[in-house]
């Protein structure tokens, strides 16, 4: 994308409050509105004070729009490589144009998004800067911390130069383990060559800029020049007039096709019980216990819970008051692929001698994974919904227990 490059468009004069938008059209229409992110491969901009803001302002099934604005000295060229993904095994988190840069935590929807990378989008500086987003673990640049529901991004803070960094923007792109191949952090202090990199099938290649050590003595310049063959890619950071700006970046292969398919939990075995309780009035209508974590729900409400992938198989204990004149209808998801008999189904009439019913299902999946559950507990209904993040987001009821009149 070269819409923000003065050599391609002579009218591009990004300085002193200048702003411009650019809309890019996808090669074909997506079924859903995709997630879009971009990386930088070409900078040419003046010494401080300089700042540019970049943000994606609209995404449709057919196109997306980016807006740029510059506050002071001139940004001559910003060339972007963009990616559009209609798959929820990858999640794009945007932190556009953050004033007063600092560490930040983001919520993650997909609990199986346990790996990822960061790509700088914008910055403003008033003098020399030296910073790096993220940390390095085992020679692989990682996001500072990923949990099942959040990710934390950290930024190094040089004691002298950090005060000159007034604004930073970046994408955090997280995904399932298969989503990314991270070849590690590369630190370019002078002439840089990537060497030969074998092409990975069904993946895109991205250079994710994560840090800059800019002395503010000459123009800020970085330009990737690619030399590709049928089986390999390679690139160099080129120079023109002056040396390129020292920087830190990661080499990422991003999957656009996946082999791992995520499905709802299946109940492969279940034990039931019926008994008489003398003081039934003292008990809650439903008592739901998630066995491995000892998490118990007894009060009406809507809850969300993330099942750790180590809890396999996943066990529940559900006990229900079965008052005289009522009946219990219970269904447990048995088979995702079956066309018929998809559930274990039970129907019990209630009477005084058997007034407390228990179900003890055990669930499993094809491979260990985190599971996002929505739990709905009402006066006569317990429903547990498994939210699955695959190519699309689906919600499947894996437990439904109703208290009905006979």
Could you read off the pLDDT of 140-193 as tens digits, one per residue?
A: 556 666 777 888 899 999 889 999 999 999 999 999 999 999 999 999 987 889
List of residues 6+ apart from 205 with CB closer than 8 A: 197, 199, 233, 251, 252, 253, 254
pLDDT of 134 above 90: no
Least confident of 141-145, 170-174, 210-214, 394-398: 141-145
Check residue 136 and give its pLDDT: 40
C-alpha dihedral over 149, 360, 401, 352, to 10 degrees? -140
**How far is it, in rounded angstroms, from Cα 370 to Cα 384?**
15
**How far is it, in rounded angstroms, from Cα 115 to Cα 182?**
10
For 5-25, what is the mean pLDDT? Answer: 94
Q: How confident is the model at residue 351 (pLDDT cuts 50, 70, 90)?
A: confident
Q: How confident is the model at residue 138 (pLDDT cuts 50, 70, 90)?
A: very low
State percent of the chain over pLDDT 90: 81
Q: Where are the domains of the chain?
A: 4-255, 266-405
Omega before 366 cis (within 30°)?
no
pLDDT of 282 above 70: yes
Q: How confident is the model at residue 352 (pLDDT cuts 50, 70, 90)?
A: confident
User: Which pLDDT tens digit goes with each residue over 24-83?
Assistant: 999 999 999 999 999 999 999 999 999 999 999 999 999 999 999 999 999 999 999 999
Higher pLDDT, 137 or 381: 381
């Amino acid at each position: 994308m070269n819409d923000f490059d003065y050599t391609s468009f002579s009218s591009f004069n990004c300085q002193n409050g200048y702003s411009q938008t650019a809309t890019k059209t996808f090669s074909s229409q997506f079924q859903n509105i995709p997630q879009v992110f971009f990386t930088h491969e070409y900078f040419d901009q003046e010494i401080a004070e300089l700042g540019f803001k970049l943000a994606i302002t609209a995404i449709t099934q057919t196109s997306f729009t980016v807006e740029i604005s510059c506050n002071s000295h001139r940004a001559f060229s910003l060339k972007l490589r963009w990616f559009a993904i209609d798959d929820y095994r990858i999640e794009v988190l945007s932190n556009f144009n953050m004033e007063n840069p600092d560490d930040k935590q983001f919520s993650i929807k997909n609990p199986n998004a346990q790996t990822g990378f960061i790509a700088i989008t914008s910055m403003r500086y008033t003098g020399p800067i030296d910073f790096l987003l993220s940390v390095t673990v085992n020679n692989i640049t990682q996001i500072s911390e990923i949990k099942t529901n959040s990710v934390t991004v950290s930024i190094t803070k040089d004691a002298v130069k950090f005060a000159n960094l007034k604004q930073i923007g970046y994408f955090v792109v997280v995904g399932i383990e298969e989503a990314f191949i991270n070849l590690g952090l590369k630190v370019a202090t002078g002439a840089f060559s990537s060497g030969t990199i074998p092409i990975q099938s069904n993946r895109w290649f991205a250079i994710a800029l994560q840090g800059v050590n800019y002395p503010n003595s000459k123009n800020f310049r970085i330009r990737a020049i690619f030399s590709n063959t049928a089986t390999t890619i390679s690139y160099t950071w080129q120079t023109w007039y002056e040396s390129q700006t020292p920087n830190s970046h990661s080499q990422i292969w991003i999957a656009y096709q996946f082999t791992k398919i995520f499905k709802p939990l299946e109940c492969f075995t279940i034990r039931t019980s019926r008994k008489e309780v003398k003081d039934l009035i003292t008990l809650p209508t439903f008592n739901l216990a998630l066995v491995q974590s000892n998490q118990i729900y007894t009060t009406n409400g809507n809850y969300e819970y993330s099942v750790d992938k180590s809890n396999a198989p996943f066990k529940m204990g559900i006990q229900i008051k079965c008052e005289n004149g009522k009946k219990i209808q219970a269904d447990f998801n048995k088979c995702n692929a079956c066309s018929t008999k998809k559930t274990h189904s039970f129907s019990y009439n209630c009477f005084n001698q058997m007034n407390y019913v228990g179900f003890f299902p055990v669930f499993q999946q094809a491979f260990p994974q985190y599971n996002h559950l929505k739990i709905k507990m009402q006066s006569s209904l317990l429903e547990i919904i498994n939210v699955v993040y695959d190519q699309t987001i689906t919600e499947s009821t894996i437990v439904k227990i109703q208290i009905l009149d006979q």
